[in-house]
Every structure is written in C-alpha cells, then in structure tokens.
A and B are shown apart, each in its own frame.
Chain A
C-alpha cells in the first residue's frame, strides 16, 4: 500500500532530511539549477507528475445548496408513478436531515428532452446546457458521506468532512503553480447574495503555506483585496515608494540571498498585479455578441453571466483554478429547495443555465475547452421524497455531477441511481473519485501530491480514489 510512504513534505525536506543530511549536498546543487525560479517565485509553474496531461486549468461551477438530480439530469419515470406514496421498502433505508420515514415520494414536474447527438435526457430547466450535452459527461452515481451542508461542502472541496484541510484549488496550485504572474493562481468568485454554510475554510489552503490560499473576488468595483491604492495615491507615486523599498532593502542584503530576493520579487509581482489585473475585470472590451451569449446586461443572468465570462478571461490569462459559485446566503437563495422546489430551481436555473452553456461554447470556440476541465455540481442532490409537500430535503446517497473539457469524453452517461433516484446503484462515484479524476486530468497523482503535516502524509483524497476511466477520452 502506497499510503503514508513518502516521509517528507517536499523535495527540499527530503533532500535535507534523508540519509542523515547527506542529501543536503544534492539539495545545494539542485538549487543552483532547476529550483532557482521556484525559490524566487513559489508559484512558478511546476511540471506535472504525468506526461502530457490534457487539462491545464479547472473551472468549477459550484451549484451550492444541492440541486436536485431528479429534476435536472436524472429522469425517474417510476418516481412520477409512485408520487404521493411512501417509499417502497425494497429501495432501502436512508437518513435525511429534516424529513422522516413518513414522508411521501414526489414526482418531478419537469419535462425531459433528449439533447445533442448523444440523446442524453436533460430537463427543461437547462435548455442551454442541453445544447452542450455532447461536451459533457453526466455522472449520475455520485455519493458523499454527509447530509448536512457544511460537512458535505468540506468533503466536496477538501476531501474531508471537517474544516482545516486544503481545498482542491490550493492542492492544484501547490502541485502545478500558475502560469499567470499578474493574477492570483487560484480564484473564487462567490455569489454576491452571501456566503455558504462551510464558510471560508471550505475554499482555503488549510495547513499549506499561505502562498496557496485562494483569492476571493468580491462583488463590486474592487474585486481583489488590497489591489487598489489607498485614496489619493497614484500608481506612479506608489511606484516610487516601491522603488524606495527595493533600494533600501538592496542596500543591506546579499544579492545571493534567496529569501530576500523572493521578497523583492514579490513586490514586483504585486505591482504587476496592480497594473495588469484590473484590465481582466474590465468586460467592456468583450464584443456585444459575447456579452449577449453569456446573458450579461439582462436579468436574471447578468451577475452569473459576468462571473462565468470572468472565469474564461482568468483561464485565458493562465489562472490555474477558478471556482464560480451559484447560490449564497440563506438556503432559499441557494439551490437548497426545502420549501418549494419548483420556485427555487426555476429561479436558480434561469440565472445559471445560459451563462454555463455560454462558457462551455465560448471556451470551445476559442480552443480552450480541451485544456480546461469543467466541473458542474453541488455538495449533494435532493430527496425523492417531498419535504412539506413541495420541497425536497438533502440527499447524499446518489446524485449527479457533470464534467467536461480537459480530456473528458462528452455525451456520455456514467453510472446510475435506482428507479426512484435514491441510491447510486451502478458504478458509484465518491467525491474522492471525482478528486482523483480532476488531479489525473491535470497530470497529478493523488499519492505524489502530498504534504507532510503532523506526521501524516496528507493528500486531497483521504482514502484512495479511483480515476473514472470510463469518462476519459
């Protein structure tokens, strides 16, 4: 078993700790050569573990709160027939957060259409995304371990049901660095409606160094914290201050001092970010056609459309990992349809369907879809039973996730739930398998991407995950 085998957290420690420190000699030599760039800029691109990986970037379209699989990508005719009845015993027992065993099954009001050449059924909530179905793998057999938001969100993002562990984005940045010097390598675009249950620790770097922390893009005119100059200071004036800082620091440092060189470099990169990043956020350079495609400038797609468009612009600039969140604040402003599924999902889908599809089409037409892995899904699905007559409760035993681009086979269905959408019965895919597949597409190996923490070689997947080979092109 390969678990826990590597004893040190990085090459530097390996070489210095190994063989009673004799490796230190090799370490000194290594620094001379390949690691110079990394020493000065810890986010400089690093080679992946595998040769020629398909994906270079990831865009995770996170549908927070748990969209219903039954009403979107996993049609269940039998459920409609059993509407109003109690769940037949043969489907098994489950435990939900709110509803109990007295609740009744609730059929879906949605109509499903066969889409694309593949003919995969997609509900009428997502007519635009249906047009992209041949670029997407529909994984209908996802499973997580937790039925409450915070813990399920932690597991989806970090592989653990508790906070304190690095998120996918931080792991990927740690593994690959970033290609963009003027932008952060891992960006989260939260929903302006508010935060999610799991809060900041869900996106965070956990015990990885702060250099791998996410940059949260905030709503409004100042998306990146501290990127704007204080009032009354011009860029040119600030440049002079930065020059003074460089001069004063250089005046008493050894030019061969790596750590101090890295500090000087950090100021240059910071300045570069300050001058170049704002242009990325300026959507006015986009053509009218593009803006329209994403639904920018009209409701209800304007906000989410802007953020999807921004995701494309960030990836174009080399940003490694972008998470776009749909849903935030109180449950009803997420996909958390406890009280009225129709109202909630119709509203949420209307905000997101067109922009998500636009993003996929736009990446495709720009030749970026092959190198950009797209993930679409939430922390769980929703119950076949009704909650309070019109809603559905949380459901982690079987639900749908979509993947596309970045070397993923489109137009296929992977796995299945039972006839009422309760349990994943065919080819179950746990979050850890999703994680393993994401890493694999990026050329990262789940075992090799590790960090020594408290005597344990931590990785994204706590228990070994399996690559979902069926969906790889």
Chain B
C-alpha cells in the first residue's frame, strides 16, 4: 500500500517547521542535590562496643542494619531455625523448596561451613538461573508475542530468555550484561550471544495494522518502547514521564527524554537468520505450495463474497485457510534482534505532548543532563556505535544510579522490599532509601567485585539480617514497640513473610507430585488449556499445544508467555502481564485463587499423583502419610492438631482430597 500523499505531506511539513536545534538545559543546584543523583559515598561501617552487638554483626550489612535499628530504638529478631532458613534459601535462590531429605541432611550437618556450602551449591544450580532470570524478565517486560490484535508469536524469543538464564547462572558481570542487551549488535555483530542479547531493544509490544500504514506513529511507538525501558529498568528513573512534558518532579527535561531516544534513531528490528542456504531452500519448497493453496482458497472466497446464501461455504473455506495456515512448517530459526540502519535514521525531535505530529526542535544523542556537567555537548550524529556509548555511560563505575538500582533489586527479591521500596523509581516521587549508607556500601561492593550479582547474594545470605526470624517478638514489650514504631518493617527488625509467586506455586506443586520436568532451555511450551480460553483469542489457531505431554510439566519460565493469553493459574496469583515493566509483584488474596487451587485442573491432576506418591513412599500407615505430606509441602512435620485432623479425614475421605488440601496450606504458600 505505500505511503499516502497525506502522510507524506504531514512529514514534509514537519521537517520544514522544525529544524531548530534544542538548547541544552541547565539544572539548579537544588535539582542536582537529590540523593540518587549524588555520587555514591564511601560509608564507614559502624562499629559496636557491646559483645552481644559484635556477635550479631556477621558482615557490614548487619552493621548498617543494626546501627539503624538502634537509632530507631528497635532490636533485631533472633535467627530463624535451620529448617526455616533452608526453606527460605531454596525459594530465594531457586524458586523451589528443599526436599525432606535435603532438610534432614542440612539439619544433621553440624560442620561450620554447612550453610556456606548450601549457598554455593544452590548458586551453581540451573534452578538458580531459572529463578533469577524470571525477575529480570519481569523488569524488562519479556513476552513471546507482539501484543495488539495480531499478537504474532515470536517463535525464537526463548533465545533471549535462555540468554538471561545463562547470564545469571554464570554470573555474567552486570555491566557486560547491560552492554550486551543495549548494544550487543554493535559490540560484536557476528556473535550469536550478543545478537540475542540486543533483542532486549525490541521486547515491548508492537502494534501492527492492516491497510493504510501509520508509518510515523508506529515508528514513534517503537522508539517510545525502546526509550522508556532504559529509564525504568536500567536507571530506575521514570524517564517515560518526560515524553510529553518536562518531568513534573524530577530534573528530567523533555529534551533529555528525546536525547536518550536519539541513541535509538537508527535502530530497527531484525530477524537474523540462523539457517543455512540449503535449509532455507528446503523450507521454501515446503511452504510455497501451502501458500499457493491459501491464495487459491482466498480467491475462491472473494468470488463468492457477493453471492447470497454462500455464507456457510465461505465459512468452510475460511476454516480450510486456517487449517492450511496451521499446517505451515515451523519458521526457520532466527535471532530476534535489532540492527542499526544509518540510512533509515529517524530524525528525533522534541514532540509536543509526545505527539509525533507535533515535532519541535531537533535533538541529538546525550545521556541524562542531570548527571552531566551543564553544557556537555551532544554526541555527533556520525558517531559509530552510539548505543555502545550509551551503555558505557550507564555502566560507568561512577554512574550514581545503575549499581544502586541493581543491588536494590537484588535486595528486594531477598527481603520482599527494597532498600528503596520503588525499585523502578529512584526519583523524588519514589520512596527514600531506608538505609542509604547500606545502599551505597552494597553498590560499591557490587562495582568493585566486577559487578558480580552472586557476590551480593553471598553478602546478603551470610548476614544475620537476612537470617532473622519472621515471627513477632515473643516479648510483649518488644512486640508492641516494634509494631508501633515500624509496622511495615522498613528497618528490618524481623524477616518479612512472603507469599510465593505464581511460578513458584505451580513449580512446587509439580515437584510435590514428583512430576516436575526439569529440562532446561529451548523453545517455549504451549500447555493444554480450556477450549473456551483458546477461543477467547482473536486467532485461536495460534495456540498449538506442544505434543509431548511431559513438556507441559516443565518449570513455568519455559511456558509460552503470550501477551494476549495469560495462563489462568499464573494470572490469578499476580503474574505480571508482560506489557509494562514490573519492578515488584503484587501479592493479592481473593476468592478466585481459592477456586483455582480447589477446582483447577493443575491441582486436581497433581493431587492424584501426590496422593499416590504418599502411599508409595510412606506405606499404608496414615500417620506416616500425613507426616510425609507435611514435610514435603512445608518442610516440617505436622503439629499434633494437624496430624489428628488429617488422619481423621483420611479415614473417611479419599487421599487425593487430602493431597489437594496440602496444596492449600499457608505453610506451603508462604515463606517465613
């Protein structure tokens, strides 16, 4: 269809109107004073005089936390028991629980390095990579379809997911990790790994439409997605707010927004073929006859279009077309990535109200002005590898945001709340850090360790802060004091109890039944779902269930993440929608969750298998079955009342109903 004269007219007019060059903004001293834009300090680790305090402080994390608690007149909670700690550790690092055998072995292991050895073993486990990759995928809004009406699948999007899993597992230095994602194609355009990584730039939903193409607006949407995520995910600032106007609260001018966007001016989506020429030829030979047949059917339909009484026939033909479409061989492997096309550079203007039809002054590439000396010039348009330049600036050791933002995310996932409780927003409207010195100390550690994420895990997991019990203090006075002074536990006088995330619940249930398929990596799995839900898709034929049934029981991170079809089980437990960056998950409680756990197909199917497993492993004795069930799902034996109630129930009710009840225990669904 080509461009319509109107559109060309609009574009030409835009160019004529707007060849002014935007001046460089300046920032006031007050604006520059905001804590997050200040260079990191070198905080002095507090020291304590009393032996009890010294004993409690295992590493500097504890020193900073204890110092703050003391200032608030609060006291840390005792260390949790070993079973609680182990279960917390397993869920934190792997998203799966320890087995009863692992718990027993750990409790029995009295060697001084028993804990460290467990931490190290789990950090090496592929389960760790899978767990922490999911956190990153939340933040970068990873999805495997384009969204909007076509919601076209990206059959090779899993390569990026696997890349992230590998990166976490191998502790890829975070500066390198970000650089590859922002600029992998510039960094080494021949290397698969980096090309996959730079698929990051196209992770957002993409609107496509039939008919007259809205070239300028579609391009603008793509650039908006590329720009906003840099702010939210990498820098922890609400850059996107400055798209339509100067940021209302933070010193981010509209010009800053478009100067960041300018780094992406020449970036275009690219599917980089992985197949050989022969493979491509063979594929073409298969596809061409199918396409020809589709064309023929469509022509036939068109002929019938105006004839009365042919509706049925047309429907039938339409069905055939869909069948033919479904019978297409899977597309050849590609890498969904981006590439720079300098000859197709979009001129970047400041857009009034963010409207692509209202371009103002032109801007070039420059990082956020608030973090630069006033008057820092733009990068010339001729600069080669501009995104690499942006990445260098973002990952510079003295960038005040990048390291703080990432250590805060790590902290958030370990404690259920960040030192800054708004992990995507370190601006004025975000929350202030509860422990600013600790945040800086951790960020310094992060950078000096070579941006090692695992180094931060180790520091946290070997701190007494993390090891505290989540229980309220037994002492009435202490309890009242803590609840009055800090009911939200900002200062960490205890551990936070957390509900398991959707994926952890599903994966654990499959593990309990003994049926979790731990296969790693590869194309995503489409699980069978109710016909009604598939029919609720605009194109139901997109959902092609993976034939191998064992695949349906893989970890949730390997399930197809389709933007327009959320799996009910995951959705009901607050899985994010992969349309916008999700820095922290909601944890809601409502009846449809109970209905899903009670009546859903996953729990009912797995309850059968879990029941069989209990009988097989514990023998016919009901007490032993109950004991085993509790140890599997909650890590500990039942208390007297639970044992009594359960045995009584089992005397008259089927074991599968008991097994189902076990999936509904708070002691399973929450981590203490």
Min C-beta distance of A21 to chain B, whole Å: 6
Within 8 A of A (CB), among B571-622: 571-574, 576-577, 579-583, 586-596, 598-601, 604
> B669's closest neighbor in chain A, by CB?
A263
Sampled A-B contacts (29; CB under 8 Å): A3-B248, A95-B4, A100-B4, A148-B214, A162-B205, A195-B535, A196-B538, A201-B147, A201-B577, A204-B577, A208-B586, A209-B588, A210-B586, A210-B590, A210-B592, A211-B588, A211-B589, A225-B533, A225-B568, A228-B599, A233-B657, A242-B598, A245-B664, A247-B641, A251-B645, A259-B497, A270-B594, A454-B238, A456-B240
State whether the Cβ of B6 lies closer than 8 Å to any Cβ in chain A. yes
For B586, list chain A residues within 8 Å (CB): 208-210
Cβ contacts A190-210/B at 8 Å (1 or 0 each): 100011111111001011111
Q: Among B7, B571, B594, which residue has the most Cβ atoms of chain A within 10 A?
A: B594
Do A151 and B148 contact each other (CB < 8 Å), given the known contacts A42-B590, A210-B571, A247-B645? yes
Do A150 and B248 contact each other (CB < 8 Å), given the known contacts A21-B490, A25-B484? no
For B538, list chain A residues within 8 Å (CB): 194-197, 199
> B667's closest neighbor in chain A, by CB?
A252
Do A200 and B207 contact each other (CB < 8 Å), given the known contacts A100-B212, A237-B653, A273-B591? no
The answer to whether B211 touches A97, judged by C-beta atoms less than 8 angstroms apart, is yes
Within 8 A of A (CB), among B1-40: 4-7
Q: Which 6 pairs between the two chains have the least Cβ-Cβ distance?
A: A164-B579, A455-B425, A197-B149, A199-B564, A455-B238, A270-B594
> With the chains together, A129 CA to B556 CA distance in Å?
49
State whether the Cβ of B646 lies closer than 8 Å to any Cβ in chain A. yes
Cβ contacts A317-333/B at 8 Å (1 or 0 each): 00000000000001000
> With the chains together, A213 CA to B214 CA distance in Å?
32
State whether the Cβ of B288 lies closer than 8 Å to any Cβ in chain A. no
The answer to whether A269 touches B591, judged by C-beta atoms less than 8 angstroms apart, is yes
The answer to whether B6 touches A262, judged by C-beta atoms less than 8 angstroms apart, is no
The answer to whether B600 touches A4, judged by C-beta atoms less than 8 angstroms apart, is no
Query: Quick one: which of A17, A43, A245, A330 contacts B665, CB cutoff 8 A?
Result: A245
For A190, list chain B residues within 8 Å (CB): 536
Stretch from A77-85, A215-223, A399-407, A408-416 contacting the other chain: A215-223
> With the chains together, A105 CA to B431 CA distance in Å?
57
The answer to whether A163 touches B148, judged by C-beta atoms less than 8 angstroms apart, is yes
The answer to whether A200 touches B566, judged by C-beta atoms less than 8 angstroms apart, is yes
> B634's closest neighbor in chain A, by CB?
A252
For B536, list chain A residues within 8 Å (CB): 190, 195, 199-200, 216, 218
The answer to whether A266 touches B429, judged by C-beta atoms less than 8 angstroms apart, is no
State whether the Cβ of A98 lies closer than 8 Å to any Cβ in chain B. yes
The answer to whether A164 touches B580, judged by C-beta atoms less than 8 angstroms apart, is yes
Beyond the given A206-B580, A454-B232, please list 18 additional residue pairs across the A-B interface where CB-CB is below 8 A.
Answer: A16-B490, A17-B431, A28-B487, A95-B214, A101-B5, A196-B538, A197-B149, A199-B565, A201-B577, A208-B586, A226-B600, A230-B599, A245-B661, A263-B669, A266-B590, A266-B593, A454-B424, A455-B241
State whether the Cβ of A298 lies closer than 8 Å to any Cβ in chain B. no
> With the chains together, A280 CA to B585 CA distance in Å?
34
Cβ contacts B218-236/A at 8 Å (1 or 0 each): 0001000000000010000
The answer to whether B590 touches A211, judged by C-beta atoms less than 8 angstroms apart, is yes
For A21, list chain B residues within 8 Å (CB): 486, 488, 490
The answer to whether A273 touches B595, judged by C-beta atoms less than 8 angstroms apart, is yes
Within 8 A of A (CB), among B299-353: 305, 318
Query: Quick one: which of A17, A150, A222 contacts B148, CB cutoff 8 A?
Result: A150
State whether the Cβ of A93 lies closer than 8 Å to any Cβ in chain B. yes
Task: Show the binding face of A for B, using Cβ within 8 Å.
Answer: 3-4, 7, 16-17, 21, 24-25, 27-28, 42-43, 93, 95-98, 100-101, 148-151, 162-164, 184, 190, 194-201, 204, 206-211, 213, 215-216, 218-220, 222, 225-230, 233, 237-238, 240-242, 244-245, 247-249, 251-254, 259-260, 262-263, 266-267, 269-270, 273-274, 330, 339, 454-456
The answer to whether B599 touches A229, judged by C-beta atoms less than 8 angstroms apart, is yes
The answer to whether A248 touches B646, judged by C-beta atoms less than 8 angstroms apart, is yes
For A273, list chain B residues within 8 Å (CB): 591, 595
The answer to whether B429 touches A4, judged by C-beta atoms less than 8 angstroms apart, is yes
The answer to whether A93 touches B6, judged by C-beta atoms less than 8 angstroms apart, is yes
Q: Among B147, B485, B639, B666, which residue has the most Cβ atoms of chain A within 10 A?
A: B666
Do A226 and B599 contact each other (CB < 8 Å), given the known contacts A211-B590, A454-B425, A455-B429? yes
For A245, list chain B residues within 8 Å (CB): 661, 664-665
The answer to whether A207 touches B580, judged by C-beta atoms less than 8 angstroms apart, is yes
The answer to whether B212 touches A201, judged by C-beta atoms less than 8 angstroms apart, is no
The answer to whether A240 touches B221, judged by C-beta atoms less than 8 angstroms apart, is no
State whether the Cβ of B173 lies closer than 8 Å to any Cβ in chain A. no
For A195, list chain B residues within 8 Å (CB): 535-538, 540
State whether the Cβ of B125 lies closer than 8 Å to any Cβ in chain A. no
> A216's closest neighbor in chain B, by CB?
B536
For B540, list chain A residues within 8 Å (CB): 194-195
Do A270 and B248 contact each other (CB < 8 Å), given the known contacts A209-B586, A213-B571? no
> With the chains together, A237 CA to B472 CA distance in Å?
37
The answer to whether A274 touches B666, judged by C-beta atoms less than 8 angstroms apart, is no
The answer to whether A455 touches B422, judged by C-beta atoms less than 8 angstroms apart, is yes
Do A230 and B604 contact each other (CB < 8 Å), given the known contacts A42-B588, A220-B532, A242-B598? yes
> B232's closest neighbor in chain A, by CB?
A454
The answer to whether A244 touches B649, judged by C-beta atoms less than 8 angstroms apart, is yes
The answer to whether A266 touches B594, judged by C-beta atoms less than 8 angstroms apart, is yes
Do A263 and B149 contact each other (CB < 8 Å), given the known contacts A95-B7, A201-B564? no
State whether the Cβ of B157 lies closer than 8 Å to any Cβ in chain A. no
Min C-beta distance of B26 to chain A, whole Å: 23
For B638, list chain A residues within 8 Å (CB): 248
State whether the Cβ of B473 lies closer than 8 Å to any Cβ in chain A. no
State whether the Cβ of B116 lies closer than 8 Å to any Cβ in chain A. no
Min C-beta distance of A268 to chain B, whole Å: 8
> With the chains together, A150 CA to B598 CA distance in Å?
35
For A219, list chain B residues within 8 Å (CB): 532
The answer to whether A226 touches B571, judged by C-beta atoms less than 8 angstroms apart, is no
State whether the Cβ of B642 lies closer than 8 Å to any Cβ in chain A. yes
The answer to whether A251 touches B147, judged by C-beta atoms less than 8 angstroms apart, is no
The answer to whether B604 touches A199, judged by C-beta atoms less than 8 angstroms apart, is no
Query: Quick one: which of B212, B221, B488, B582 contacts A16, CB cutoff 8 A?
Result: B488
The answer to whether A210 touches B572, judged by C-beta atoms less than 8 angstroms apart, is yes
For B576, list chain A residues within 8 Å (CB): 207
The answer to whether B592 touches A184, judged by C-beta atoms less than 8 angstroms apart, is yes
For A241, list chain B residues within 8 Å (CB): 598, 653, 657, 660-661
For B604, list chain A residues within 8 Å (CB): 230
For A249, list chain B residues within 8 Å (CB): 664-667
State whether the Cβ of B210 lies closer than 8 Å to any Cβ in chain A. yes
State whether the Cβ of B658 lies closer than 8 Å to any Cβ in chain A. yes
> With the chains together, A4 CA to B148 CA distance in Å?
28
The answer to whether B588 touches A455, judged by C-beta atoms less than 8 angstroms apart, is no
For A201, list chain B residues within 8 Å (CB): 147, 563-564, 577, 579
Query: Quick one: which of B248, B532, B657, B661 contacts A237, CB cutoff 8 A?
Result: B657
Q: Among A3, A227, A249, which residue has the most Cβ atoms of chain B within 10 A?
A: A249
State whether the Cβ of B517 lies closer than 8 Å to any Cβ in chain A. no
For B431, list chain A residues within 8 Å (CB): 17
Cβ contacts B195-212/A at 8 Å (1 or 0 each): 000000000010101111
State whether the Cβ of B249 lies closer than 8 Å to any Cβ in chain A. yes
For A208, list chain B residues within 8 Å (CB): 586
The answer to whether A226 touches B642, judged by C-beta atoms less than 8 angstroms apart, is no
Do A28 and B568 contact each other (CB < 8 Å), given the known contacts A199-B151, A263-B589? no
> With the chains together, A210 CA to B645 CA distance in Å?
32
For A269, list chain B residues within 8 Å (CB): 591, 594
For A222, list chain B residues within 8 Å (CB): 532
The answer to whether B661 touches A97, judged by C-beta atoms less than 8 angstroms apart, is no
The answer to whether B490 touches A151, judged by C-beta atoms less than 8 angstroms apart, is no
State whether the Cβ of B155 lies closer than 8 Å to any Cβ in chain A. no
State whether the Cβ of B476 lies closer than 8 Å to any Cβ in chain A. no
> B237's closest neighbor in chain A, by CB?
A455
> With the chains together, A190 CA to B533 CA distance in Å?
11
> With the chains together, A4 CA to B248 CA distance in Å?
8
For B190, list chain A residues within 8 Å (CB): none
